[in-house]
Amino acid sequence: MTTGDCLDPGGRSANLGADLEPPVAEKRPHAIVAHGDERRDDWYWLRDRDDPQVRALLEAENAYTRQATAHLEPLAHQIYDEILASTELTSVTYPSPKGEWAYYMRTVESLQLPIWCRRPRSSPPPTADPSVHDPQETVLIDENALAAGHDYLEVGEQALSPDQRLVAYSADTSGSELMTIRLRDLASGDDLPDVIENASYGLAFAAGNETLFYTRPDEAMRPYQVWRHRLGTPASEDAKVLEEKDERFFVTVGKTKDGAFVTVGIESNITSEWLLIPAASPEAEPVVVVPRRHGVLYSIEHHDGELLILSNEEAESFALFRTPLAPGEAAGPGWEVLLPAREDVILTGLDVVSGHALVTTRGHASTAISVLPLDGGPGKGRGPLVLQAPPAGTISLGDNLDFETSSVRYTTTSLIHPKTLYELDLATGQETELWRQPVPGGYDAADYRTAQRWATSGDGAKVAVTISWRADRKDGPGPMVLYGYGAYGISSDPAFRTDRPARPLLDRGVAFALAHVRGGQELGRRWYLDGKLAAKHHSFEDFLAVARHLCTEGWTTPEQLCIQGASAGGLLVGATVNLDPSAFGAVVADVPFVDCLTTMLDTTLPLTTHEWEEWGDPASDEEAYRCIKAYAPYDNVGRARYPRMFVTSALNDMRVGYFEAAKWVQKLRAAHPDNRDRVLLKVEISAGHFGPSGRYDAWRRRALASAFVLDALGVGVALAS
């Protein structure tokens, strides 16, 4: 790349030699006009991935980041080795039974991707040693074999045929989330001739093992069609079941737990509609359960001729209902309330086994599971059994694959406690520990501490923050990482990760915290609603309030505090650092959604219209335009000295365009002379939104980010020497 290519003639050129300087992209002013307001975007041209100068710039950014972090290589290697040392590289998960089989996943040292397996349910548990021949084991899918010849692989979905003789699976080899579906005969291990290209997420077999339902995306990558494939016929003969024309809605396919119905979901961010197809009559017309009504969300399960419906109909935080259902008919009137709505607790999910409904809930910054006996089920008349999360931890349902079962599984974890799997006897209520995540290297949770604290936001709202630290951490302020997300109602639940709480951070005296800001649902449905659309500013105010609270309480100082977020969490950290760049010592932003106003104005980009219900429609609504413009990180970069920043993006990302991070980095560097060598961009050339698909590649990426954080907070270099 030369100055004459795409670099600003007034800036410093990107010399790829020993003294590489930050790439300075040419300014090509572009006017964006809406509602009588004109914005000038000097780097709008970076959206054109077919422009060779764009690719040259991204490669120059990677080259600059490699040089700028070269001094961190010993530390990054050390952290990477520590991650490996605290991770069971060759492992096998605890088998989950389904009918006559039990399903599990194994990993093998040196292999990037998992191997999905099964064995007879009655056989002994599998050994983790891959060198031991196991005649009981059948390999369903070896993702390493599928990835051969590709730089990237994601297995999107797997679906078993009712007789469990076949598995349908979808795979993406570019990161674009465009899937190819194949079917495998589990007796022979061979794929059938059937191949379905250009599919999206969602797979479901009908009864009889001969019909598969799947979805296709439109040009904007919105799954909008449901198709039906008959095994043994070419995909060109597949039948379109339905098409959703409203661009706000995605379609998906699945199956009720008892296998009685194929389900078709049509969902936007705030409205849903479900349709049923009798699994025994796959060519039947789908029947609507409840017609969509704006603002009404619901999910369904089938149990003994009745529907269980989790809905926010006149129940903001959702309630659980039951209604009779005859085959081929929609839900009838007179719904029975099984679990009423509560203002302070939201019902977040529904599962079912024979005789019981399993409902996940959250509120007061904690999670729980309600196990509700249905008529005739074990424990009838006992009332719901409520399983609570451990202090500052998380409880969630396990893989309960069987509908006919006398027990259910659930897991607990926290920032410092490895994942533990339990089994609950539905008749007696007795709980048994089945498995605990092994952590090599002598890890002992007693060496660490975790707790929940509360900060006060600008409007008086109390915001929870979950903190973890090493027990022998020195008293007084020290280095700290604060992570947040805060969008779509997705909550940041505390969970154990060997690349986070073990040696890389906590053992170096760095505390780690999760901020439960508005936009998630940690404190109920209202907590989410108060962090979206016109109230989105609450998310950023909450995050800043938590950061300041941690400093006031003596955990850290602004210079020793790094904030981190990904995707919509990247928007969170980007908007928050604009509010007060001096409040932080470092920022890590992964695939950040920072150019949100320009993106939300462009309906040609993937997902834009679907996202309007979360962020607002700035194209037709001037108030929404003004609101987003007021916080959009790219539009509000100040002429100030920003913290050191490590930003990532991915060229094939269809959720957040690579250009958002690239433009943001250019604008940050141009905002203040001190920022020019303080902002780094790392671009994944062969990956999508979720980064590298291989676990070793992902660990290397996390190790580099951790080394950057330690260095930026004044910890890493001293400990690496």
- Mark whether 697 is an active-site residue: no
The active-site residue, picked from 86, 194, 689, 706, is 689
- Mark whether 621 is an active-site residue: no
482, 546 contact by CB (below 8 A) = yes
Query: Which residues lie below 8 Å from residue 202, measured CB to CB, with a gap of 6+?
Result: 157, 213, 214, 215, 223, 226, 251, 252, 253, 254
Residue with tokens 């659930």, as numbered in its chain:
410
The active-site residue, picked from 507, 530, 617, 653, is 653
d(CA 229, CA 236): 9
228, 211 contact by CB (below 8 A) = yes
Nearest alpha carbon to residue 679 among 49, 64, 76: 64
Q: Residue 644 burial (CB < 10 Å; 0-12/13-18/19+)?
A: buried
Secondary structure of residue 175 in the 3-state scheme: coil
Q: What are the angstrom distances between the C-alpha of 718 and each of 79, 508, 704, 712?
A: 14, 11, 16, 12
- Mark whether 653 is an active-site residue: yes
Task: In the chain, count H helices and then E strands.
Answer: 12, 39
Cα-Cα end-to-end distance for the chain: 35
d(CA 235, CA 242): 16
- Angle (nearest 5°) at CA 484 between 478 and 487: 170
The active-site residue, picked from 161, 200, 407, 567, is 567
d(CA 377, CA 401): 18
Query: Which residues lie below 8 Å from residue 29, measured CB to CB, with a gap of 6+?
Result: 40, 41, 42
Long-range Cβ contact pairs of 581-585 (< 8 A, separation 24 or more): 581/638, 581/640, 581/641, 581/642, 581/643, 582/558, 582/640, 582/641, 583/544, 583/547, 583/548, 583/558, 584/547, 584/558, 584/643, 585/558, 585/559, 585/560, 585/561, 585/643, 585/644, 585/712, 585/713
Q: What are the angstrom distances between the C-alpha of 295 and each of 32, 250, 618?
A: 32, 15, 20
Query: Which residues are designated catalytic?
Result: 567, 653, 689
